[in-house]
Amino acid sequence: MNSGTGSDRQLLLFRQDPYIFIYLLYGFHLIIMELVQGNIKESILPPHEDDIISTMPENVITNILHCLPIRDAVRTGILSRDWRFKWTKLTQLVFDYNFFYDPLDIRLEYYFSKVIPKLLLHLNAAITKFVLFIEDDESFSRFNDEHVNDINNWVMFLSRKGIKEFTLINRQPRLKLHSHIFSCHGLTHLKLHNCSVCPMPSFIGFPNLLSLDLSSVVFGSYTCGEFISRCPLLNSLKIDFDTTYEIKRSEIAKLENLKVLSLPLCNLDNMAKFTRSRMFQLMCFFPKLQELHLGFKNCKFLADEINIDAIALSCLKTLELNGVDFHNSIMVSCVVELICSSPNLKTLNITAASSTKNSPESLEVNYSRMVQLKLHTVFLASVKGLESELCFIKFLLACSPQLKKMIISTCTTRLFGGDRGAIIFTTKLLKLHRTSPVSEIDFKWY
């Protein structure tokens, strides 16, 4: 049997474990240092034809360098004359906390005005991925307008280098991005946190954008919904639960390719009051949806009739619901209907509402449709020991023959009346019937 060429075997080896490359580099570095110090003879070095690293294709070397932090990738230039400029073929740049951290306390201005611009100018290939984290700690305590200007200069430079993935995570005061970001028409992935952007009047959208992740982003004269509607190929849309945007249902209903959707429901059409039928009508626009994350915070559900048989989220594998009020039977009924309308659901993640405003608990929920679920994993967070929660868990366990693990957590045992109340609740959980013979229940309190 032909086992493939030497380069094929090398590629397979490093794809399986890229850190093998790191160890080999470190070994070569030690040998070179020993040679410089005159402690060993040059004859111990392997002949060139046996050098597995030097004989690898350039694209394989570049892919492996991408597995290293930028600092280490650039440092490979000291290994030999042949390796001096290998790092200049990098196409992916990640400037995170580890990049900016330095025990010598080098000034932030030096990284922004010297180091990063020099790196950008020395790279020979197109820069397809750029990630920048601006932390809220001592290393960024001197972050100012000059740094903002530097970032905008980088964006202008990247717009001419074929950038496809752009991520900016800002934990400082809101950062104003220049409109150059909207000239990056080749973008396929865009992630912005805590930024201010103002699209140019001529902005027609991102025709190639596949994923969009927004948190605390201000759009100037645009609304978030208008911006989203100009990205027709989106298959992943994530809107932070704690931000307020004006989004119209008609603006996202056209995104028929969506596979991942994360959205606070109260922001949809600026409505704090919601009907179940309205939510399910929205879900019907996304037949390819595989992951759904919905925020119920500040959203009041109104009772209405719904044609349950007409709803089918057949592709949905993961469902995450945040801010579920188990005192509210209408909201719980909506959750049950979402689960039952997802015949291939594997993962369920529910976080209970932190505050229920002392509303009376209701158990009027119809669980008759909950039969033969395909759930594998269930996470229930911020539970309070309510009977409605226990009833919900009871039917999940009874109708999930493939369930492997259920994790239940609470932020404090005071909600249960202390440790004794938490133990009583745990005892009730253990008595519940489980259809799955291998299911485990893990109850945690903090």
Nearest to 345 by CA among 307, 378, 368: 378
- Tens digit of each residue's pLDDT (9 = 90 or more) over 122-155: 888 889 999 999 887 666 667 788 888 889 999 9
Structure tokens at 242: 């704690």
**CA distances (Å), 85 to each of 59, 61, 82, 120, 381, in order?**
14, 12, 7, 14, 50
On whether both 216 and 273 belong to a single domain, the answer is no
The pLDDT, as a whole number, for residue 14 is 47
Q: Taking the mean position of all CA atoms in its chain, how far away is CA 340? A: 26
Structure tokens at 229: 């509607």
The residue out of 234, 255, 288 marking a domain boundary is: 234
Asked, for residue 83, whether it belongs to a domain, the answer is: no
Asked, for residue 336, whether it belongs to a domain, the answer is: yes
Q: What share of the chain in percent tops pLDDT 90?
A: 30
- Tens digit of each residue's pLDDT (9 = 90 or more) over 178-237: 888 888 889 999 999 999 988 877 788 899 999 999 999 888 777 888 888 889 999 999
On whether both 221 and 150 belong to a single domain, the answer is yes
3-state DSSP assignment of residue 34? helix
The pLDDT, as a whole number, for residue 43 is 43
3-state DSSP assignment of residue 247? strand
Instruction: Give pTM, 2 decimals.
Output: 0.81
Asked, for residue 82, whether it belongs to a domain, the answer is: no
On whether both 422 and 278 belong to a single domain, the answer is yes
- Tens digit of each residue's pLDDT (9 = 90 or more) over 334-349: 899 899 999 999 999 9
On whether both 202 and 220 belong to a single domain, the answer is yes
CA 262/CA 267 separation, integer angstroms:
12
Helix locations, 173-328, DSSP H: 224-229, 249-252, 276-283
The pLDDT, as a whole number, for residue 7 is 47
**What would the mean pLDDT of 240-252 be, rounded to a whole number?**
78
Q: Which domain holds residue 182?
A: 91-234
Asked, for residue 79, whether it belongs to a domain, the answer is: no
On whether both 223 and 149 belong to a single domain, the answer is yes
